[in-house]
Structure 1
């Protein structure tokens, strides 16, 4: 499924939850923008502001709406609600 949704994921090196979240997006054929907060520390500050204090990675945004982390992304998909976010 392709989508025109703007999907952003703040991630880091050696993060199994980041790998899992990106894997789901890739399996669904969705393009996303990835920000590595370990390689770009200023992106961690940005991530925390946008997620209202979220410190863990990944933090995922779809069309500038905060989804949450990996578990929240998978929960949306499992409930069949992810497509509604991709409009």
Structure 2
């Protein structure tokens, strides 16, 4: 399994749900808290093509998107193969 980077912020239910799903799939999750780490929000926005909301999820170099995008990928059966190759 590859490492998954998730840009988060406190009290974000979508962040919690995304991380819960990723961990259930066996992914190693690295969180970047955009509210406390200087420059992380700008980094996130640059990597996510301007998206400002959290979470923003990256499997390797692949930008998955937010929580809804992650769950859609899982529903389509594409999350586990991505995690295996990511």
Structure 1: unaligned runs, 5 residues or longer:
none
8 Å CA contact 2:6, 2:57 repeated in 1: yes
Aligned residue number for residue 41 of structure 1:
38
How many equivalent pairs are there?
84
TM-score normalized by the length of structure 2: 0.93
Distance 2:22 2:81 in 1: 14
One of 45, 50, 53 as aligned partner of 1:53: 50
TM-score normalized by the length of structure 1: 0.92
Aligned residue number for residue 25 of structure 1:
22
3-state SS of paired residue (1:41):
coil
- Aligned-pair CA distance for 1:79: 0.8
Structure 2: unaligned runs, 5 residues or longer:
none
Q: Structure 1 runs of 4+ off > 3 angstroms?
A: none
Aligned residue number for residue 79 of structure 1:
76
Q: Does 1:62 align with 2:70?
A: no
